[in-house]
């Protein structure tokens, strides 16, 4: 692929846009990330701990829990017993603020990765909230250290019309997914820690073969050893060796993929460093593909490595910077991705989220690989007599291969690495972040103290008039070139019902209306006939303990 001048300009925009946007924002107007994550952004997250996930152990252990879609555990759950004043206390006196902090810690005890769970609130004398199943298994003192056990059980029903598989397929299906996670956390002392977690994922009642992310007989999800190398009080350096999930930033590049029934994991070495508001994580791993009926093993042909740094409480909010390398000998590429992200809020109440990356290296085409992505979002929270919606307008761009003769899994388009694709480019997972323009508007609002509503509209277009790509980076059609860039429209509706901080129900419906791209002869599968529309309904129950 020969890189054209317009393409180079788009890639340059992806690299320089973040500091340009930052310079336009009043430095004194930005607020700390926690305010956005807890009050405004957390309810729009799809299967993540927060829009910004700290990258080192100390930060992980204090990360608010919001892994299930749209759980606003700090505000959507009803208050419990009334908090007595200090004069009413018969034991250690606790202020209202201390009691509220303890309750907030209870609601955020589960992290986006279970090795980041924090149940220290159970030992807080100011906590007077409810007890939950499994609390007695947390932070138990023994002669050999501290032991914790816990897990998760999740069931989800799918009704899919015209999208069973990847993309518009002409296939309909109804089926159930179940997932069980169990973990054990052994903190031997202040230096050594051993963590293990298993997962069992099953699919039931389907008419077609399950997707690769839907089934995995009982297997190891995490199994690692932590060794604290330096702990000066103000800074900490930890080495982690073994099988481990990875979660960084907004999960546009690296995620454990919690929406999937199986989740995603790696095997290797990490160094985690934190001092104050600065965190730096360096890692070298091998990807662990799922083998549904056999023990999962790391793939030496798929090396994933990099450095991810984050700084909080900057004048512009929170800033991430990262380098990510991915060598895939199976497909035939060696790619390097350099990117950054800014997240914050102005003193006028405007929320902003900007991220972009430039990608270079070698791929399966004769030319050098040059690609990238760019995302910009602007939001605001509104207060009305009936509702308090937070509204976002986003633009997502990812470069594509210009030469149709070279389209393929290893072509010159942007390689999205290991993201939580479900979170950003439509809940129906029709298109991956490659050769794509996604203009989308998001609104989320609490309806009651326990129920919230999410509405999300997407308009998809191709970047290059070649072919769209699936969420696993395979081209829709390698034999028929697109005659139109108009892919179509998607609307997502989601009700999030928080029964309590440990039990949650999701009810969702999505509809896709195909664009002119699907009028190209030979594009739609024979089973689909003239129908380029699709529907997706799902219902999920999740409990944690």
CA distance linking residue 197 with residue 151, whole number of Å: 9
pLDDT tens string, the chain, 545 residues long: the values are: 555 555 555 555 544 444 444 444 433 333 333 333 333 334 434 443 333 333 333 333 332 223 333 333 333 333 333 334 444 444 468 999 999 999 999 999 999 999 999 999 999 999 999 999 999 999 999 999 999 999 999 999 999 999 998 899 999 999 999 999 999 999 999 999 999 999 999 999 999 999 999 999 999 999 999 999 999 999 999 999 999 999 999 999 999 999 999 999 999 999 999 999 999 999 999 999 999 999 999 999 999 999 999 999 999 999 999 999 999 999 999 999 999 999 999 999 999 999 999 999 999 888 899 999 999 999 999 999 999 999 999 999 999 999 999 999 889 999 999 999 999 999 999 999 999 999 999 999 999 999 999 999 999 999 999 999 999 999 999 999 999 999 999 999 999 999 999 999 999 999 999 999 999 988 887 776 778 999 999 999 999 99
Gyration radius (Cα) of the chain, Å: 23
- 311 burial (CB, 10 Å; 0-12 / 13-18 / 19+) is middle
Tokens found for residue 369: 């690989």
- Residue 40 three-state SS: helix
CA distance linking residue 440 with residue 487, whole number of Å: 14
Residue 61: predicted pLDDT: 32
The string of pLDDT tens digits covering residues 211-263 is 999 999 999 999 999 999 999 999 999 999 999 999 999 999 999 999 999 99
In this structure, what CATH number is given to the domain that contains residue 370?
A: 2.40.160.100
Positions of E strands within 258-331: 265-275, 278-288, 302-314, 317-328
CA 265 vs. chain centroid, Å, equals: 13
Task: Look up residue 187 and give its DSSP letter.
Answer: E
* Number of domains observed in the structure of the chain: 1
- Residue 60 three-state SS: helix
Could you give the C-alpha distances from 20 to 15, 62, 355, in angstroms and in order? 10, 31, 12
Positions of E strands within 363-482: 368-381, 390-398, 436-446, 451-462
Residue 531: predicted pLDDT: 85
Residue 526: predicted pLDDT: 73
Positions of E strands within 215-277: 216-231, 235-244, 265-275
Residue 92: predicted pLDDT: 61
Range of the domain at 463: 5-544
The string of pLDDT tens digits covering residues 329-358 is 999 999 999 999 999 999 999 999 999 999
The string of pLDDT tens digits covering residues 85-120 is 444 444 468 999 999 999 999 999 999 999 999 999
3-state secondary structure 420-440: CHHHCCCCCCCCCCCCEEEEE
Residue 1 has a CB neighbour count (10 Å cut-off) of: 23
Backbone phi and psi for residue 170, each to the nearest 5 degrees, phi listed first:
80, 5
Residue 74: predicted pLDDT: 33
């Amino acid at each position: 692929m020969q890189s054209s001048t317009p393409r180079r300009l788009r890639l340059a925009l992806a690299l320089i846009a973040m500091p340009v946007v930052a310079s336009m924002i009043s430095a004194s107007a930005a607020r700390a990330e926690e305010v956005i994550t807890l009050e405004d952004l957390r309810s729009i997250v799809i299967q993540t701990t927060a829009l910004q996930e700290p990258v080192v152990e100390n930060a992980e252990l204090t990360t608010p829990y919001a892994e299930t879609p749209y759980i606003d555990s700090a505000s959507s759950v009803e208050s419990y017993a009334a908090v007595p004043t200090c004069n009413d206390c018969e034991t250690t006196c606790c202020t209202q603020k201390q009691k509220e902090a303890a309750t907030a810690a209870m609601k955020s005890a589960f992290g986006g990765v279970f090795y980041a769970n924090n149940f220290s609130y159970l030992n807080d004398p100011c906590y007077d909230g409810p007890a939950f199943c499994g609390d007695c298994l947390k932070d138990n003192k023994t002669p050999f250290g501290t032991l914790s056990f816990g897990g998760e059980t999740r069931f989800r029903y799918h009704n899919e019309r015209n999208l069973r598989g990847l993309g518009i397929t002409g296939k309909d299906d109804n089926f159930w997914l179940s997932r069980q996670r169990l973990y054990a956390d052994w903190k031997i002392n202040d230096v050594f820690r051993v963590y293990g977690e298993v997962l069992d994922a099953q699919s039931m009642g389907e008419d077609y073969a399950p997707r690769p992310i839907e089934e995995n007989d009982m297997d190891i999800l995490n199994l690692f050893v932590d060794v604290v190398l330096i702990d000066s009080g103000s800074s900490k350096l930890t080495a982690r060796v073994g099988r481990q999930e990875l979660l960084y930033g907004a999960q546009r590049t690296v995620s454990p993929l919690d929406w999937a029934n199986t989740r995603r994991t790696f095997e290797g070495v990490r160094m985690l460093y934190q001092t104050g508001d600065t965190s730096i994580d360096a890692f070298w791993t091998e990807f662990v593909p799922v083998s549904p009926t056999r023990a999962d093993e790391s793939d030496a042909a798929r090396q994933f490595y990099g450095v991810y740094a984050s700084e909080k409480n900057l004048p512009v909010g929170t800033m991430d910077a990262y380098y990510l390398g991915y060598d895939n000998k199976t497909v035939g590429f060696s790619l390097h991705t350099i990117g950054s992200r800014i997240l914050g809020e102005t003193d006028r109440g405007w929320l902003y989220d900007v991220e972009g990356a430039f990608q270079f290296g070698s791929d399966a085409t004769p030319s050098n690989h040059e690609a990238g992505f760019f995302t910009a979002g602007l939001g605001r929270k509104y207060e009305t007599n009936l509702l308090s919606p937070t509204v976002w307008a986003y633009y997502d761009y990812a470069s594509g291969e210009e030469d149709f003769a070279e389209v393929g899994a290893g072509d010159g388009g942007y390689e999205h690495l290991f993201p939580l694709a479900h979170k950003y480019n439509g809940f129906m997972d029709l298109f991956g972040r490659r050769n794509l323009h996604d203009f989308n508007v998001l609104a989320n609002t609490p309806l009651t103290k326990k129920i919230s509503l999410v509405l999300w509209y997407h308009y998809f277009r191709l970047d290059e008039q070649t072919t769209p790509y699936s969420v696993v980076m395979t081209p829709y059609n390698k034999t028929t070139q697109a005659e139109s860039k108009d892919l179509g429209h998607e609307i997502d509706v989601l009700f999030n019902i928080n029964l309590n901080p440990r039990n949650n129900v999701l009810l969702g419906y999505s509809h896709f209306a195909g664009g002119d791209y699907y009028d190209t002869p030979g594009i739609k599968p024979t089973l689909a006939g003239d129908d380029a529309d699709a529907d997706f309904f799902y219902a999920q129950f999740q409990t944690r303990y």
